[in-house]
Amino acid sequence: MRRGLIGCGFALVVSAVLFGCGSENKDTEVAPQPSASSATTVIVTPPSSASQVASTPPPPQLPPVDFVEGTPDTPPAKAPTLAILAPTKDQLIAPDKAGDFEVKLDLKGWDVPGDAHNHVHLILDGKPYQRIDDPKAPIKLSTLDPAIGEGQHVLVAFPSRGTHESVKPIGKASPLAIVSFYVGKKKGEATWKPTDPTLIYSRPKGENKGAPPPAGILVDWYLANAELGDGKFTINATVTGPGLESGKQVTIKDWKPWRITNIRDGKYTVHMVLMDKAGKPVPGAMNDVTRDFTVDTKSTEAPHH
């Protein structure tokens, strides 16, 4: 019996030696590393193009450019009177003196320039007008056309507001002054007669800088011997340019100022044709006019429209 107990004790001691040391190595045991095949891979997915587009705000939509009838300014209580004193009707001017020949105007009933910046538009042969702030001061023909040549010429003048809207006739009283004269000798048949229906283009022209008027860029003209309306004369007008690449054409039957609204920067073209009662173009050098002008709304110069 005693021998059996000793054997059992020996076995217990051997077990303690064999397995007790293992408990001491437990703290220093290196944990097994995951194999390459078991490693976790993190994939970062870039945002889709759809999400990128959704996060980018769309560009602002510009209001459409249009060519529309405007509202006339309040007419004066009485129509001004304007006359061309020189040259006189059918006056002959020597070619070598034409450039220095002085145009003289007589304006009454229209304060110029005044607080409203009133002035006169002076036009030779349908060319871009010259602004006249002092009608009493002589104006040389060379300032209207530096290369004025021989033949018949037509000189036109009418009062204008600071906005460049022309002063229209009031009843039968018209402030329009128009006269023909000749440089050199009279040759052949006259290309214009005082009774001819005539379209005189005025605005817009040249460079238009700065913020445009809230109502839009003014399109203005004058008429002689022609009344607009159904069954009467009409004007076919077309505007092309940025925002109106295909052109906007209208038939004008009422003598009012027209406007190009929401205009953009760039080059525009206005084409106007005077049409008779039968809807056919009226003959005449000034009755079919095309005029280019530019717009720079971002210009820091004083507004010039």
pLDDT band at 42 (very low <50, low <70, confident <90, very high): low
Return the ∠ at Cα 13 (arms to 12 and 18), rounded to 5°: 100
Round to whole Å and give the CA distance between 169 and 275: 20
pLDDT tens for 224-233 read 999 999 999 9
Judge whether 68-191 and 195-305 match in fold: yes
pLDDT at 25: 42
pLDDT band at 262 (very low <50, low <70, confident <90, very high): very high
* Architecture of the domain delimited by 195-305: Sandwich (2.60)
Nearest 5°: phi and psi at 120? -125, 140
Pick among 3.20.20.10, 3.40.50.620, 2.60.40.10, 3.40.50.2300: CATH of 68-191: 2.60.40.10
pLDDT at 138: 87
Round to whole Å and give the CA distance between 33 and 204: 84
pLDDT tens for 115-163 read 889 999 999 999 999 999 999 998 999 999 999 999 999 999 999 999 9
pLDDT tens for 67-80 read 999 999 999 999 99
CB 80 within 8 A of CB 166: no
CB 128 within 8 A of CB 205: yes
pLDDT at 61: 86
To the question of pTM greater than 0.95 for the whole model, the response is no
pLDDT tens for 169-209 read 999 999 999 999 999 988 778 899 999 999 999 999 999 99
List the chain domain ranges: 68-191, 195-305
pLDDT at 196: 97
